[in-house]
Structure formats: structure tokens, C-alpha cells
Chains A and B, each alone.
Chain A
Amino acid sequence: MRIQPYLDDLEEIVPSRYSMVIGVSKRARKLMEENVASPYPGVTKPVSVAMWEMKENKIKLIERPAEKKEETPSRRVQEFEDLDS
């Protein structure tokens, strides 16, 4: 099994590379904090696990529209919903 899915496969699923990175990063942090074991053979690193989960739509990116009151350029907040827990 490959350690990470190809980026092209991910780039088809998520709206932008930026949101992919933020989503994978948030998921990886959660996997680390909760010491979640990798369900994928040979894939150990949290970032790689998060990428596979994203590829297999186990996690989904939810982009909340930026609230109006934000003065900074509207950076949409990406959260994710953990579908399988």
C-alpha cells in the first residue's frame, strides 16, 4: 500500500490545495492527540493517514462561510466532520 495517496486524487475531492492542507493538518493533529491507530497497513504517519481518510471520504471538509464581521480578508474556516466515529 502506498504511504500517501496521489495529490491529484485529493485535489479532485477538495476545492483548493489550501483547504486540503488545512483539513489534513487539523485531522492529523486530532489523530495525534487521540493517539488513533492507523487502520491502513504500512501507513503510520498521522498526515498520511489523514490523507487516505480524505481520499476515501472518511472525513469531509465543511467550509463555513466567513462571518460578516471579520475585517481580515474573508478566510473561510475549514472544519471537518469525522464521519466514521
Chain B
Amino acid sequence: MFDEHKKGTLLVLSGPSGVGKNTLINSFLSRNPDIHYSISATTRKPRPQEQDGINYYFLSPNKFHTMVDKGDFLEWAEFCGNYYGTPYPPIEAALNAGQDVIMDIEIQGAKQVKEKREDAVLIFLVPPSVEELARRIRNRKTETDVEIEARLNKALIEMEEGRMYDYYLVHDNTEQTVEELEAIRKTEDKRIKRINWDFVVSTYKGKGGI
């Protein structure tokens, strides 16, 4: 499984807020424990069931910007008044160790990842419909009506950004979407650019009398 002659695959998941990235990722991770999940850093306040260092690193704004200055982030972005960023060292370590990584980030962040890691696989998650998206955001009961309105308007603008991604998934039924995500991972794991091809060739040398 951890073929040492292969670099890990970096799966980057983005999508309009409220499309259910967390639901999808939690289900995906529970079925695929061998993948490393990237914990993001944020300056936003924790939601009720969220814990520091488990769901997010909850940082003060100036702590966050110190990390920005030190280049500790693979990407970072401001979203709805808060900052979000992806600490790079754990991801680099996992990929170097041949382990696949999945991260869920804001859309502006995905551009930065693509620039720094052209081998990253960008997956855009879309809701089955805008009505469904509104229902999911309202269901979360973490936003006021005004905030929901802002998120929905933002979602429409964000849909445009999907253009630069590699794959898109419609998140209607979670289990089915998880299976599609697993299929993308399996396929991308076969990409030769992540494999030490010299090693693969060497395994054929001196065999069968050639």
C-alpha cells in the first residue's frame, strides 16, 4: 500500500460554502483511514462541536499572520471576514512518505495550491441545487439570515471558479459521492508522474533472460 517508490497524491476539495464538504470528508476518512487529513488553521470562532487541534487550529489573527510570514502555509485566504490556511509541513511529510493527503479549503486557496503543487488534484464539490444549498446552510443553524444570504450570493460567484478544477462532484447522496471520490483517488494514484519510473523499469531488468 505504501509503495515507497511513489509520492502521495494530494486531493484538494473545495466548493461553495454549505455544500457539505465536512460531511463528505468525515465519511470519506472513516472509510479510508490510510489517508492523511490536513487540519486547517483559522481565525474564526469554533462552532459548538469543534475542538482546537482536531477540526481546526484556532489561531489569533496575529499568530496566523506570523505563520504566513514564516511561509508555513501551503495556501491561505480570507473568507467572510475570517482567515483560513493550510499548514504545509505535515502535508509535505505525508506526501514524501508516499501517503495520500486530502484537504478541504476555500476556493481562493485552491489557486495557490495549484501554483505550488501542480501535481495536486483539485476537486470541486457542487450542491444538487441552490434550494438544497440554502436548506443545508439554514440547517446548520450557525449563521444568521443575513449571513446565509451573503453565503448564497457568494456561492453563485464561486460556482464560476469551478472552471479551474480537475474534477467535479455533485454532493447529493454522501455515500455515492464518497465512492466517486475514492475512484478519483485510485485513478490518480496510477499517474506515472508520481511514480519513480526508473524503479519500475528496474524491476524488469535481469528477469526472463533479458
Contact = CB atoms under 8 A, between A and B. Distances in A.
A26 B71 CA distance: 22
A67 B32 CA distance: 41
Instruction: Say whether chain A's binding surface is mostly helix, strand, loop, or mixed.
Output: helix
B92 A25 contact: yes
Contact of A3 (B53, B67, B97, B99): B53
Contacts of A28: 93-94, 97, 99
Interface string A4-46: 1011001100000100111011101100110000000010111
A7 B89 contact: yes
A51 interface: yes
B89 A17 contact: yes
Contacts of B98: 29, 32
B92 A4 contact: no
Contacts of B53: 2-4
Contacts of B99: 28, 32, 46-47
**Interface magnitude class on chain B:** 20 to 34
A3 B94 contact: no
A21 B57 contact: no
A24 B93 contact: yes
Given A2-B54, A7-B67, A33 B94 contact: no
Q: How large is the interface on A (under 10, 10 to 19, 20 to 34, 35 or more residues)?
A: 20 to 34
A21 B94 CA distance: 9
A26 B90 contact: no
Given A33-B2, A45-B36, A2 B93 contact: no
B33 A25 contact: no
B37 interface: yes
A77 to B, nearest CB: 14
A47 B101 CA distance: 11
A3 B1 CA distance: 23
Contact of A51 (B1, B57, B90): B90
Interface of B: 1-2, 4, 33, 36-37, 39, 52-54, 57, 67, 70-72, 87, 89-90, 92-94, 96-99
